[in-house]
Amino acid sequence: MTDAAELLLRVREFLAAHPPATTERSDFLSARFDAGLAWVHYPAGLGGLGAARSLQAVVDAELEAAGAPDNDPRRIGIGLGMAAPTILAYGTEEQKRRFLRPLWVGEEVWCQLFSEPGAGSDLAALGTRAVRDGADGDWIVNGQKVWTSSAHLARWAILIARTDPDAPKHRGITYFLCDMTDPGVEVRPLRQITGEAEFNEVFLTDVRIPDDRRLGPVGEGWKVAQTTLMNERVSIGGMRLPREGGMIGPVARTWRDRPELRTHELHQRLLTLWVEAEVARLTGERLRQQLAAGQPGPRDRV
Ligand SMILES: Cc1cc2nc3c(=O)[nH]c(=O)nc-3n(C[C@H](O)[C@H](O)[C@H](O)COP(=O)(O)OP(=O)(O)OC[C@H]3O[C@@H](n4cnc5c(N)ncnc54)[C@H](O)[C@@H]3O)c2cc1C
């Protein structure tokens, strides 16, 4: 497996067996995962077919044209773009089977507990501590994280913590999968000037994490985190925005909702901004499609 023609056939058979119009959204997504059409470059049995990553565009286009529901990638972006590839690269078989399916289907939202008040750009300076309770026991985690997007929605978090304060700072870190519903995890929203609260502070007080939720070896958390961060760059760069999906959205909504504020000058400025946002969005989308199809992007032509 698999070339584009074979894949298209497989998608059409899948659609015939699970017509989007009459299949429950969650049933459709679960069946799509089980059919290996979730992320085709993942291994068989974990939502994929071991196919070339670029072939995902073939699946997505065919499903979109058939009116199929998606897994709301904006809501679960941290799981899809960052937690999943890290679990795939470093997880045990049991961790992969436990976490990847509910993550992709959207049943479990993930967040990223990396940044701290004293560890932003210099992430390896992080102070959150994980201390083992006995030689083979659970890890007890204490510390504070900040700027945690979606922590208020998340069931799980990717977490890095210091396990060896005597080692050089990049070496003393270990990577964990943290259950956000565990006792000792407290999420406090950070309200922005827009009134929204997308980010949070997260306080961890004596949070008990079993050793089977450690991802990768003890002390190798910095290396594991590099996989997350490399994938974060790719996933942010490849994000698909719907029309009015960025900051232009609230501006356009305010224009529609508050006619008493309208002036000719504001109308002109709004139209200019709206067109610029839409051109940027469509240009990005076209580039994303070109790259997914293996066609050269602008940098290749320089
Ligand atoms: C939209 C958004 C969402 C985020 N979501 C999450 C999340 O879900 N989970 C998470 O863990 N983190 C998240 N973060 C945090 C992010 O990953 C970075 O940790 C953070 O933006 C950088 O840290 P800081 O804000 O403490 O800035 P600082 O590290 O304090 O940097 C402040 C400024 O100083 C500059 N600077 C820093 N060090 C140096 C230096 N040595 N030399 C010269 N200049 C320097 C920086 O470039 C920057 O301009 C998010 C951030 C944003 C903006």
CA distances from 72 to 77, 108, 215, 249 (A): 8, 12, 26, 18
Asked if the model's pLDDT at residue 53 lies above 70, the reply is yes
Q: Which of 74, 110, 147, 194 to mutate to test the pocket of ligand 1 (most atoms within 8 A of CB)?
A: 147
Asked if the model's pLDDT at residue 292 lies above 70, the reply is no
- Kindly report the average pLDDT of the chain as a whole number: 92
Model confidence at 294, pLDDT cuts 50, 70, 90, reads low
pLDDT at position 209 is 98
Model confidence at 300, pLDDT cuts 50, 70, 90, reads very low
Residues 200-259 pLDDT 10s: 999 999 999 999 999 999 999 999 999 999 999 877 766 677 788 888 998 999 999 999
Residues 117-164 pLDDT 10s: 999 999 999 999 999 998 889 999 999 999 999 999 999 999 999 999
Tokens coding 68: 């199929």
pLDDT at position 239 is 66
Asked if the model's pLDDT at residue 191 lies above 90, the reply is no
Would you say 128 and 144 are in contact if contact means Cβ atoms under 8 Å apart? Answer: yes
Ligand 1 in reach of 120 Cβ (< 6 A): yes
Question: For 187, phi and psi rounded to 5 degrees?
Answer: -105, 125
* CA–CA dist 222, 38 (Å, integer): 29
Pairing of strands 185-190, 173-179: unpaired
> What would you report as the CA-atom Rg of the chain, rounded to the nearest whole angstrom?
22
Predicted TM-score (pTM) of this structure: 0.85
Kindly report the protein residue whose alpha carbon is nearest to atom 33 of ligand 1. 121
Average of per-residue pLDDT across 259-285: 91
Ligand 1 in reach of 30 Cβ (< 6 A): no
Helix residue ranges per DSSP H, 161-263: 221-237, 248-257
pLDDT at position 295 is 62
Residues 180-190 pLDDT 10s: 999 999 999 99
Average of per-residue pLDDT across 95-119: 98
Instruction: Classify burial at 283, counting beta carbons within 10 Å of its beta carbon; exposed 0-12, middle 13-18, buried 19 or more.
Output: exposed
Task: Decide which of 209 and 282 is more confident.
Answer: 209
Tokens coding 193: 């000037």
Kindly report the protein residue whose alpha carbon is nearest to atom 51 of ligand 1. 147
Pairing of strands 110-113, 156-162: parallel
Q: Per DSSP, which regions of the chain are E strands?
A: 110-113, 129-132, 139-145, 156-162, 173-179, 185-190, 199-209
Would you say 165 and 172 are in contact if contact means Cβ atoms under 8 Å apart? Answer: yes
Give residue 270 CA to ligand 1 midpoint distance, Å: 30
